[in-house]
Amino acid sequence: MGRMKAVVLTAHGGPEVLVLDDAHPRPVPEAHEVLVRVCAAAVNNTDIWTRQGAYGLPGDPSALAGWRGPLTFPRIQGGDIAGVIAEVGAEVDPARVGQRVLVDPALYRDGSRNAPPVGLLGSEADGGFAEFVTVRAEQAHDVTGSPLTDEELAALPVAYGTAMGMVERAGIGAGETVLVTGASGGVGLAVVQLAAARGARVIGVTSAGKSADVLTAGAVHTIDRAQDLVEQLGRAGLDRIDAIADVAGGPLIAQLMPLVRDDGRWVIAGAVAGPVVEFDLRRLYLHNITLIGSSMHTRDHFAVLLDLARRGEIRPMIAGRYALADLAAAQEHFAGQRRAGKIVLSVP
């Protein structure tokens, strides 16, 4: 049996439950699968929350669980994978060996183009914090011609996939005023770039120190999340918003809902500012506002993202680079919140 280096999640807990295994069994591709040699893998909040078991269960918010429920161990985390096909299983074209690929990490409910994700590589199946990973052949997308580096490609699937899901589900288009919360983070910065690229006027909510990065990504204006948001928007003459792309949740919802125009949209994909909220439902229904829950992306959303990646029309900001063995330090950097952009592991 082949062996590989992998960082193995052995239980829910702190960074100490991540164990570097130098001789982990190398997976063998089954029919319709490929073995991908991982070149780069990015870090996401979901890896940390899954390690901690921080998602709770219905009726038991403090239960230890992954995003779809209880996890099985050992598990290799990491949903963001750029690499090269090393081997193919039966029923896969052997000419694909050597192909540079970007992996769609979603495990979909069914085969349709618009199926919602019901699992994620690194959570419900082994992911990319290892030298090799097996994935369904159709989830390993050819990016041979992309001008993006492996690290830039690896920064895309979870953060930009989620951002694309938000932009597409909310139907954000040219000329619209869009407010993005958590705008300096992985998902937020991606929404800023994607919405601005569509011609939307983007306002980013961020801490003061990261404002410049959010403006560089394409926002026309930023507001400081530590100050009164409504007052800042009013002062800037930005008090009529077509859509809010939100990864923060918490008290922002009650504050900002009255600024959303009639039949505007509020798309929400995260809750860094608090998952349990209270707001006046009358502001929602009396103004025909659509509240959209958005988890990751569909196959169609990912295809749009792949097109941008192949043409080099989107370039993620890389805030830190680490070796595979330094995953715990990479997660600490990520969780420290002192950066704009993605943290990436390079796997030589």
Ligand X SMILES: NC(=O)c1ccc[n+]([C@@H]2O[C@H](COP(=O)([O-])OP(=O)(O)OC[C@H]3O[C@@H](n4cnc5c(N)ncnc54)[C@H](OP(=O)(O)O)[C@@H]3O)[C@@H](O)[C@H]2O)c1
Does 46 help bind ligand X (rule: CB under 6 A)? yes
Report, in Å, the least distance between residue 291 CB and ligand X: 14
Is residue 85 within 8 A of residue 96, CB to CB? The reply is yes
Please report, for residues 118, 252, 314, the alpha-carbon distance to residue 344 in angstroms, rounded to integers and kept in the order given.
25, 30, 17
- Write out the DSSP string of 84-108: EEEEE-TTS-GGGTT-EEEE--EEE
Among 101, 153, 159, 241, binds ligand X (CB under 6 A): 159
User: Toward ligand X, which CB reaches closer, 253 or 269?
Assistant: 269
Among 50, 193, 206, 232, binds ligand X (CB under 6 A): 206
Q: Tell me the window of 91-99, 121-129, 227-235, 263-271 that interacts with ligand X (CB under 6 A).
A: 263-271
What is d(CA 137, CA 31) in angstroms, rounded to the nearest whole number? 9
Is residue 76 within 8 A of residue 9, CB to CB? The reply is yes
Does 27 help bind ligand X (rule: CB under 6 A)? no
Amino acid at residue number 148: L
Does 43 help bind ligand X (rule: CB under 6 A)? no
Does 137 help bind ligand X (rule: CB under 6 A)? no
Total residues interacting with ligand X, rule: CB under 6 A = 27
Which residues lie closer than 8 Å to 89 by C-beta, 6 or more apart?
Answer: 28, 29, 30, 31, 32, 33, 34, 35, 134, 137
Using CA of residue 123, residue 124, residue 126, residue 128, what is the dihedral sign? negative
What is d(CA 142, CA 138) in angstroms, rounded to the nearest whole number? 10
What residues from 58 to 117 belong to the interface with ligand X (CB under 6 A)?
none
Report, in Å, the least distance between residue 55 CB and ligand X: 9
Task: Write each residue from 170 to 199 as x if it is in contact with ligand X (CB under 6 A), else as -, in one continuous string.
Answer: -----------xx-xxxxx-----------
Q: Tell me the window of 44-52, 54-62, 144-152, 215-223 that interacts with ligand X (CB under 6 A).
A: 44-52
Within the chain, where are the H helices? 45-52, 150-154, 161-169, 186-197, 211-216, 229-235, 252-256, 281-285, 299-311, 327-335
Q: Tell me the window of 31-39, 90-98, 141-149, 269-277 that interacts with ligand X (CB under 6 A).
A: 269-277
Report, in Å, the least distance between residue 320 CB and ligand X: 12
Amino acid at residue number 193: Q
Does 316 help bind ligand X (rule: CB under 6 A)? no
**CB-based closest residue to ligand X:** 185
Phi, psi at residue 336, to the nearest 5°?
Answer: -70, -15
User: Toward ligand X, which CB reaches closer, 30 or 231?
Assistant: 231
User: Toward ligand X, which CB reaches closer, 45 or 134?
Assistant: 45
User: Toward ligand X, which CB reaches closer, 141 or 210?
Assistant: 210
Residues that bind ligand X (CB under 6 A): 44-46, 158-159, 162, 181-182, 184-188, 206-207, 210, 225, 247-248, 269-273, 295-296, 337
